[in-house]
Amino acid sequence: MTQDFWANEGYSVEFDIFFDTEDWDPWFDDGYAKLMKAGGGAETLLYSESVATVGDYGADGWTHISYVIGDSGIYYLEFGVENVGDNDVLSAIGVDNVAVVPAPGAILLGSIGMGLVGWLRRRRTL
């Protein structure tokens, strides 16, 4: 599953994720989340779990991921599961609370601007 979005430098991408499998060694199914910049940027692996890391019939708990964007642009956030070596047993990931969060400075600047507009309007009516 892939979603594209615009983010400015300093914004963060945040989400919660888990991996769950009913598979076992030697079929090392895996789940992942990665971020790619449009136009051929490098992939950034944000999350990766597999049967090798959670164990046979294993799962990890919910994990919160937060990644700060280095350059403004269009990005692709991809979540996936790879079924390795068999088609008998499936693995899954769960994803929730996906958000692109503005940099704290942008929030502060926007708040100051909104307050200034309100103050100017109020001042004109007096």
Return the pLDDT at 28: 87
Quote the pTM value. 0.77
Return the pLDDT at 104: 81
Residue 4 above 80 pLDDT? yes
Query: Bigger pLDDT: 62 or 109?
Result: 62
Are 50 and 28 in contact, with CB atoms under 8 Å apart? yes
SS3 12: strand
Sign of CA dihedral 105, 75, 15, 59: negative
* Domains of the chain, residue spans: 2-125
CATH code 2.60.120 for 2-125: yes
C-alpha 8: how far from chain center: 15
Return the pLDDT at 105: 59
Task: Give tens-digit pLDDT for 75-125.
Answer: 999 999 999 888 888 899 999 999 999 988 554 455 556 666 665 666 666
Paired tokens of 29: 């199914």
